[in-house]
Structure formats: structure tokens, C-alpha cells
Amino acid sequence: MTRWKLVIEYDGGPFVGWQRQSNGESVQAALEDAVYRFTQEECLVQGAGRTDSGVHAFGQVAHVDIEKPADADTVRDAINFHLKPAPIVVQSAEAVGEEFHARFSATQRTYLYRILDRRPAPALEAGRVWHVPMPLDADAMHAAAQPLLGHHDFTSFRAKDCQADSPMRTLDRLDVRRVGGEIHLDVEARSFLHHQVRNFAGTLKLVGEGKWQRRDVEAALAACDRAAAGPTAPAEGLYLVSVGYT
């Protein structure tokens, strides 16, 4: 039996999310089915992040245990062959020790949130950015984001149905920058609450529009009340960029 670490890229648009569910196709189910067709073995593919419906990934990490002997290139290429035509690609496969766990061994997760702030709607990027039909002030958004760094009670930025035991999290990075015609939020932490990054994006959009200022974001954080922060931004602008391990 070999445990394989997989780095995976996918378009989340067609899926109900990462986790296998009864109400539609999931990324996890597609991967498990592809592994089965390759190995004829029932398996469980466990991911580092349970991305929601519509959320994309450049570098999701998962692991799976396979008995069939094969080298890393064969595992990668065989799974990719059986994934077709789903918009999921295994970028790499690496044999790891059985102590490795894609979710519980992770020490850092990096997300990107993309906002297209222009009047015309996107054509090529539809479903991959949040379209906001007005210019936003990226510098003001970045300045207002900085009080969120560090260890806080993030109740104001967690989904009401979040199942985490505690709202306490340590946010290591939240940079807002303009990249061409888009605004990007680069967000890093060891772990996140449900909808935390999307709630950051929805709140900071209010700052970018001039409706809120930095002190409003600080007040929302201090309130520890979901109703005190901004709306939840759409899923299609969010990407799981990478997962770090020590």
C-alpha cells in the first residue's frame, strides 16, 4: 500500500464542492471514481480544503492510498486519463509516508480572491471572477484589511452554519492589490472558518466603494457578530492557491 500526495487544479463551477454529496457531482467523487477505474480499488481521497460549490483551485492537496504498484508519473497520468472530460487535473503525484495527512498535516493555506471592477461584464472570465461594475480603491481596501491580521475571534466573518469548534483563527496575510484590470486579495492562514475569505472580500468591497472606512472594518471585527460585517462575496472569485506543509 502506498500513500500518494496529489496536487490538484480544478474549475469549481460544475461541482457542488470538494466533498462528496448526494445532490450532485463533487471533485472528491470524480477523483475517487478515476482512481477506481485505474486501480479497481475502492478508495477515499482526502483533501486539504473542503472548497464550496463554485470555488476553484490551483493547488488543492489530497492524499489517497493505493495498493496497485506504479510510479508517480503513472499515477498522475492514469488518474488524469480517467478524469476526462471533468475540469480537474492532477498536477503531480508523490509517494509519502502513511503519517502524512492532506488536511491535518497542513500548516499553511493560501487563497486568492479576484474582483473584476469594471462596467462591462466579463466574457472569457465569466464564472472565474466577481464582477463589480464600478472602480474600487485597492489601496483603501488594503489599509482597511490590516487590522484583521493576527489572532482574533472572527465570528463576524464566519458563516452562520460554520461547524468549527472555535471562531478563533490567526490570519497571517491579507494583501489587497491591483493586478491589471482586477483587484486581488491574497490571504494566508493555517486554517480558515467557513466563508471567511469570501466574507473578507464582501466587507472590503464596501471600503473600495467608499461606503466603509478602516474603522468600520475594525468595528465589525470587534462586534463578533456576523450581521456587523459585509455580505458574502460570490464563490466564483475564490481560488485555493496552495497548501503548505512543514
Structural domains of the chain in order of their starting residue, each with its CATH number: 2-96 (3.30.70.580), 109-245 (3.30.70.660)
Q: What per-residue confidence (pLDDT) applies to 22?
A: 86
**3-state class (DSSP) for residue 136:** coil
Spatial separation of the C-alpha atoms in residues 224 and 180, rounded to whole Å: 35
Evaluate whether 207 touches 140 at the Cβ level (below 8 Å). yes
Q: What per-residue confidence (pLDDT) applies to 40?
A: 97
Residue 222: which H helix or E strand, with range? helix 214-223
Which of 52, 73, 77, 175 is the catalytic position? 52
Cα dihedral 23, 5, 94, 237 sign: positive
Find how far residue 116's CA is from the centre of its chain: 18
Residue 160: beta bridge partners?
A: none
Contacts of residue 87, defined as CB under 8 A and 6 or more positions apart, other chains included, come to 10, 11, 13, 14
DSSP states of 150-215: EEEE-GGGS-TT---S--EEEEEEEEEEEETTEEEEEEEES---TTHHHHHHHHHHHHHTTS--HH
Evaluate whether 46 touches 37 at the Cβ level (below 8 Å). no
Contacts of residue 32, defined as CB under 8 A and 6 or more positions apart, other chains included, come to 20, 43, 44, 45, 64
Find how far residue 162's CA is from the centre of its chain: 15
Per-residue pLDDT of the chain (246 residues; tens, 9 = 90+): 999 999 999 999 999 999 999 889 999 999 999 999 999 999 999 999 999 999 999 999 999 999 999 999 999 999 999 999 999 999 999 999 999 999 999 999 999 999 999 999 999 999 999 999 999 999 999 999 999 999 999 999 999 999 999 999 999 999 999 999 999 999 999 999 999 999 999 999 999 999 999 999 999 999 999 999 999 999 999 999 999 998
Evaluate whether 117 touches 187 at the Cβ level (below 8 Å). no
DSSP states of 100-111: --TTTTEEEEEE
225 is catalytic: no
